[in-house]
Amino acid sequence: MTKDSKPVLRFAPSPTGYLHIGGARTALFNWLYARRHGGTFLLRIEDTDRERSTPEAVEAILRGMEWLGLNWDGQAVYQFARAGRHREVAQQLLAEGKAYRCFATPAELDEMRTKQRAEGKPIRYDGRWRDRDPSEAPEGAPFVIRLKAKQDGETIVRDKVQGDVRFANDQLDDMILLRSDGTPTYMLAVVVDDYDMGVTHVIRGADHLNNAARQLQIINALGWPVPVYAHVPLIHGPDGAKLSKRHGAMAVHEYERMGYLPEAMRNYLLRLGWSHGDDEFIPTERAIEWFNLENIGKSPARFDFKKLDNLNGQYIRSMSDAALADAVTDYLAGGEQPRTLNASARERLIAAMPGLKERAKTLVELSQGAEFLLSDGPRKLDDAAAKILTADARRVLGGLVAALRARDWVAPELEAATREFAEAQGLKLGQAAQPLRAALTGRAVSPPIFEMLQILGREESLARLSAYAT
């Protein structure tokens, strides 16, 4: 990238599975960097493996990106469609003597590796066709095209995260550029596509660090400019090993169903491996302002749901009541049994939201906490509520209903009435408030009960309370 040009970034997933948490973070970093510098963020689907690539996976990846709000510029590029161009570059290398035909059969190579393994030698192509003349090959035999890589000296990957990583060239073998069926390999395709797309910065998982050296060899053979590399450490599961289904390896949009907010997810992912001093709560706008490559950590991080929950709770609390009511509405409408809210439910939802939102870490919890506001009539008691409504408690409730009925139906009045009643009966406030809560909400936990009485209104409240009062 020259001084006055804008960076070009890309996210290049292969559609052999859904978008998981690691890929999502890679995409996020690329996106943030592009947005930070007013650059371009491209999406390239690496579908050259025809066996394993599926339309469903492409769909899942796009959906995950969209949910996370990682909008890409222009149309997604499908790598397979560019195979002709890849072939052309391989031919060019061949013509320039920088690549050669290799007629070794898969069985032959397999045997070679088995032998190397048995002898404890490094496993790599031995260059058996590197200097042979193609005329020595059997008539019409299939061949691949390999890069005639430099064998002495070293290839240095200058990485913004990992520093200078040096690879001795004699450790790198002559990689295949074009398969015997004429299709390009990943190594070739990546290099050609990045060049053609004008990619200036490559931010990707550290599992590609070794590949970077090989790609560099191709780039150098072609005399093309070298992009800035940043290989980000991988994300591990809570046990330090690979991510498993239980924690994070699932499709990113499944977090939507679990009640997480995209913004909270972005914040969490950002902090997983990147830092800005002691800052934790970093809304996207701020993240774009602050993101850089220098502060990406070098060690792998583990995925931790507890911290995600906490962050999600913070974002929920920071949202407006109306926006949260919308979020809950959408959440309820998006379930397996879609539900729609009537106007009165929505009104109650917004009114109760201040009390509701500080009690929820996810949209799921928020929806559950709001359940008692969404429909009319006496509540079904959960176990904890049933335990509260003992025979004694129901008698207390009976007296309370009479006391409340006489008052204006506003929270301060209702609270005063309850306090007076409790005092007259020699009860602690909780002994009166809890039966109230249990009958009104069907649960042992809710936002402040007098406000809930007010929001539900006199008629509805009395109907619910009377159902359990004796």
**Which residues from 209-248 bind RNA, rule CB under 7 A?**
209-211, 233-234, 236, 238, 240-242
85 contacts: CB under 8 Å, gap ≥ 6: 192, 196
What strand order describes the sheet that includes 163-168? Answer: 163-168, 154-159, 228-232, 201-205
**Which of 40, 48, 362, 461 is in the footprint of RNA by CB under 7 A?**
48
**Which of 2, 75, 299, 337 is in the footprint of RNA by CB under 7 A?**
299
Q: Does 245 participate in catalysis according to the annotation? A: yes
Q: Is 203 in the site for RNA (CB under 7 A)?
A: no
Q: How far is the CB of 38 from RNA (least distance, A)?
A: 25
Structural contact between residues 224 and 202, judged by C-beta atoms closer than 8 angstroms: no
Distance, in Å, from the CA atom of 99 to the CA atom of 427, rounded to the nearest integer, reads: 90
Q: Is 362 in the site for RNA (CB under 7 A)?
A: no
Q: Is 17 in the site for RNA (CB under 7 A)?
A: no
Which CB atom, from 205 or from 339, has the smaller least distance to RNA? 205
CA 76 and chain centroid, separation: 19
Q: How far is the CB of 67 from RNA (least distance, A)?
A: 22
Which CB atom, from 39 or from 86, has the smaller least distance to RNA? 86
**Which of 6, 158, 166, 246 is in the footprint of RNA by CB under 7 A?**
166
Distance, in Å, from the CA atom of 81 to the CA atom of 87, rounded to the nearest integer, reads: 12
Count, residues near RNA per rule CB under 7 A = 86
Dihedral (Cα; 392, 398, 404, 410), 10-degree rounding: 70
**Which of 167, 229, 421, 468 is in the footprint of RNA by CB under 7 A?**
167
Q: Is 204 in the site for RNA (CB under 7 A)?
A: no
Catalytic residue among 245, 298, 306, 380: 245
Q: Is 298 in the site for RNA (CB under 7 A)?
A: yes
- Specify the residue for token string 């990957």: 157
The interface mask with RNA, positions 421-450, x = CB under 7 A, is --------xx--xx--x------xxxxxxx
Q: How far is the CB of 56 from RNA (least distance, A)?
A: 16
**Which of 8, 10, 11, 14 is in the footprint of RNA by CB under 7 A?**
14
**Which of 81, 156, 168, 416 is in the footprint of RNA by CB under 7 A?**
168
For the record, the structure tokens of 167 come out as: 């690879």
Q: How far is the CB of 148 from RNA (least distance, A)?
A: 16
**Which residues from 83-112 bind RNA, rule CB under 7 A?**
104-106, 109
Q: Which of 367, 371, 370, 390 shows the shortest CA–CA distance to 380?
A: 371
**Which residues from 64-83 bind RNA, rule CB under 7 A?**
79
CA 427 and chain centroid, separation: 51
**Which residues from 364-393 bind RNA, rule CB under 7 A?**
none
Q: Is 259 in the site for RNA (CB under 7 A)?
A: no
DSSP 78-136: EGGGGHHHHHHHHHHHHHTTSEEEE---HHHHHHHHHHHHHTT-------TTTSS-GGG
Tell me which residues are annotated as active site.
245
